[in-house]
Amino acid sequence: MNTPEFLAGNEAVAQAVRLCRPRVIAAYPITPQTTVVERLSEIVEAGELDAEFVHVESEHSALALLMGSAAMGSRTFTATSSQGLLYMAECLYYASGGRWPLVMMNANRALALPWNIYGDQSDSLALVSAGWVQAYAENAQEALDMIIQAYAVAEDPAIRTPVLVNLDGFVLTHTYEPVSVPEQAEVDAFLPPRDLPDGFPGTFRADAPQSLAITAGPGDYTVFKYQQHAALLAAAAAIRATAERFRARFGRGAQGLVEAWQADDAEFVLITLGSIAGSVRSAIRALREQGVRAGLLRLRYLRPFPAEELGAALFGSQRSLPVRAVGVLEKDISFGHQGSVSLEVKAALYEHASRHRAPAPPVLNFVAGLGGQEIALTDLHAMFADLQGLAHSPSDDRRHLAAPGFTDVRFAGMERFLEENQHQDAA
């Protein structure tokens, strides 16, 4: 067992990348991603990692460059955030369509306008359909572990799908925690060799020229897209198997795409992702002392979407009590509708309900933490109170939960504005 080091989330990612030994790193700076690539440039210059560190002139070029490197069979890394992630949006689809096993870290940050450098999840959620595996770390240790596992999943010949590992900006990227950093030999034994094997699909061959990143007409295009979709669905099993293998070797790590906590007897379940899960656990501990059966489901991966795991956690035979109300807490809003994660959860619940001819519990969407707005313990208690109120109120009285223009969506952090502008319609 290693002595834990005291690392910020970004530094844990940099250490993980060092251990995964990419050949090529390309990066463009953006807050709050910068310390990842600063550490990596130091690591490369110190000779601790034999890699090319390429200073690109934009995020678009960072990801495009790595596609060239991956086509040459190299393991790669880049990191970005917010505007940078959206600036490379075209390349995200390009990379997943090209089936290159890239790994990228994203520091979840709000999107302009207004400009805001603090954490929320609207950046990666805007690109949830880009064909990448999307992982969300809760803490620095999980960030390190997820990066290592990301290479194993991405480079699985049956998957060949890029992976985006998300860390909440500042709250996770810049907060120091004890992190166990594995030995190089252990990681070497866990991962495939750093160069993709000769003949790996999507790579050039010296002896048999390949045309890559091709054009395809409507019929072939559909087949390629279907295969891409099938591979991303199959990634769920690869993620589970990789997590099991990781735990067997390193002795830690959550299993599966959803982590259930105090959930099997929970009547009121909050579903969330990322670093806020720690605060949710604290709230649940306090509520449990008061006799409220509260529980947590943490989405560790949003793509592939863990619909079946979610269904099992909410309705499986292991449950001792039925779920009475579900909340989805996310740092995102899909303007004109509701939070992106809420939409995903509701779709899964509907599918489960229609398949099993069972009623689905009511769902409240809590949109909170936008632009780094604090989510306090009191906010979380209020959310659970809303869920209890929802379960106890007669159905025709539910409309009071909806702000004007919204259906079962609550914005946290609006209290002061509403107080000061009582005469105005906040919506």
Under the rule (CB under 8 A), what is the footprint of another protein?
23-24, 26, 50-52, 54-58, 60-62, 64-74, 90-91, 94, 195, 204-206, 209-217, 220
As measured in angstroms, the least distance from the Cβ of 94 to another protein is 6
Q: How many C-beta atoms surround the C-beta of residue 31 within 10 A?
A: 17
As measured in angstroms, the least distance from the Cβ of 48 to another protein is 15
**Closer by beta carbon to another protein, 78 or else 275:** 78
Under 8 Å between Cβ of 14 and 65? no
As given in the structure block, the two tokens for residue 2 are 């290693």
**Closer by beta carbon to another protein, 219 or else 359:** 219
Under 8 Å between Cβ of 67 and 100? yes
As measured in angstroms, the least distance from the Cβ of 78 to another protein is 11
Q: Give the C-alpha distances (Å, rounded to integers) separating 171 from 29, 118, 140, 282.
A: 19, 9, 10, 16
As measured in angstroms, the least distance from the Cβ of 316 to another protein is 44
Burial class (CB in 10 A: 0-12, 13-18, 19+), 391: middle
**Closer by beta carbon to another protein, 53 or else 411:** 53
Query: Which amino acid, 341?
Result: V
Q: Give the C-alpha distances (Å, rounded to integers) separating 383 from 46, 161, 329, 346.
A: 49, 36, 9, 18
**Closer by beta carbon to another protein, 51 or else 326:** 51
As measured in angstroms, the least distance from the Cβ of 24 to another protein is 5
**Closer by beta carbon to another protein, 1 or else 206:** 206
Q: Which residues contact 269 (CB under 8 A, 6 or more apart)?
A: 263, 294, 295, 296, 297, 314, 323, 325, 326, 327
**Using CA atoms, how far apart are residues 225 and 237, in angstroms rounded to an integer?**
20
As measured in angstroms, the least distance from the Cβ of 204 to another protein is 4
As measured in angstroms, the least distance from the Cβ of 207 to another protein is 10
Q: Give the C-alpha distances (Å, rounded to integers) separating 50 from 37, 76, 249, 252.
A: 15, 12, 25, 28
**Using CA atoms, how far apart are residues 418 and 425, in angstroms rounded to an integer?**
8
As given in the structure block, the two tokens for residue 361 are 């519990």
**Using CA atoms, how far apart are residues 85 and 106, in angstroms rounded to an integer?**
8
**Closer by beta carbon to another protein, 57 or else 289:** 57
As measured in angstroms, the least distance from the Cβ of 67 to another protein is 6
DSSP state of 139: S
**Closer by beta carbon to another protein, 62 or else 236:** 62
Under 8 Å between Cβ of 30 and 82? yes
The residues pairing with 326 across neighbouring beta strands, listed in sequence order, are 269, 363
Q: Which residues contact 264 (CB under 8 A, 6 or more apart)?
A: 295, 318, 319, 320
**Closer by beta carbon to another protein, 215 or else 378:** 215
**Closer by beta carbon to another protein, 70 or else 105:** 70
**Closer by beta carbon to another protein, 216 or else 237:** 216
Under 8 Å between Cβ of 311 and 300? no
As measured in angstroms, the least distance from the Cβ of 220 to another protein is 5
As measured in angstroms, the least distance from the Cβ of 70 to another protein is 8
